[in-house]
Amino acid sequence: MGKVIIFGNQKGGVGKSTCTLLAANALASKPFNYKVKVIDLDEQQTIGYLYEGEIERGTKPIWELIAYPHSITGGKIHKFLKVFNKAMEESDLLFVDLPGYLDEGGKTDTVSPMADFIFIPFTPSDKDTYSTETYLLAMKQKKKQVKEEQDRKLAVVPFANKIDSRIKSQISYVKTVRKAFKEMHGIKSMKNMLGSYKDHANAGIDTNLYGGINHIKESNLTKWINELHSIIKK
Ligand SMILES: Nc1ncnc2c1ncn2[C@@H]1O[C@H](COP(=O)(O)OP(=O)(O)O)[C@@H](O)[C@H]1O
Ligand SMILES: [Mg+2]
């Protein structure tokens, strides 16, 4: 029975799909070797189109994609649940890529209480932080709902993405946001931030960038993946 992992934020462009790809690639490869599946639930099909394109070019994927751009509300929920439950049964880790909005009765609202982990990428800008906080509060509600209705844990874990570590103001901004999330909402963020890399553009469906950025073994991505892994292993 797979653990369900979501990278969510109601803000577009913060790296939900990219981080899904990076984590799926790394965790499906050595030394982790998890059986990974990804459901792309976003109508935009960022992962879906990439996957399709790479398959057509002959790329051998290291995890399986289930493209599901359709609505899951109303009478359509049963069909989706069948797909979701099958994917969960057949994997160790099931990632779900969601659209970038909060929607009562819609995809995020329905799928988030089915997750084990919701990682929330945020970038160092006030505009993003505002949406991130709104999303974080909504997911905190889901965490409560999961505890009450299913008597299990849903972990909500924010982390900073697209950080240029040479820019001191970005680092202090992230520290302030992390501190605020902890003190105001009791939510602990990841220790490791993800850098802003051109390598992320190569986060395909068969590329394990784990430990591979600039050939530095203990790269920022390696550390981030290792921390992510230590969280989902618990
Ligand atoms: N850590 C990163 N470093 C560099 N570029 C990134 C990083 N994370 C995401 N991006 C880029 O930002 C853009 C938006 O990312 P995407 O994953 O599509 O966001 P979302 O799914 O949240 O809308 C893409 O062009 C992606 O390549
Ligand atoms: Mg996306």
Query: What percent of the chain shows pLDDT beyond 90?
Result: 82
Mutate to test the pocket of ligand 1, among 16, 17, 18, 107 (most ligand atoms within 8 A of CB): 18
Question: Are the C-beta atoms of residues 151 and 101 closer than 8 Å to each other?
Answer: no
The pLDDT tens digits for 184-200 are: 999 999 999 999 988 88
Residue range 196-212, pLDDT digits in tens: 988 888 899 998 888 77
Per the prediction, the chain carries an average pLDDT of 94
pLDDT tens across 80-131, in order?
A: 999 999 999 999 999 999 999 888 889 999 999 999 999 999 999 888 888 9
Report which ligand 1 atom has the smallest distance to the Cα of 46: 18
Sorting pLDDT into bands at 50, 70 and 90, what band is 6? very high
Ligand 1: atom nearest CA of 9 is 22
Tell me the pTM.
0.96
Range of the domain at 123: 3-233
* b/e 135-171 (16+ beta carbons within 10 angstroms → b): bbebbbebbeebeeeeeeebbbbbbbbbbeeeeeebb
Q: What is the mean pLDDT of residues 135-150?
A: 98
Mutate to test the pocket of ligand 1, among 200, 202, 213 (most ligand atoms within 8 A of CB): 200
Q: What is the DSSP letter of 73?
A: S
Q: How many domains does the chain have?
A: 1
Which pLDDT band, with edges at 50, 70 and 90, does 143 fall under? very high
Supply the CATH number for residue 130's domain.
Answer: 3.40.50.300
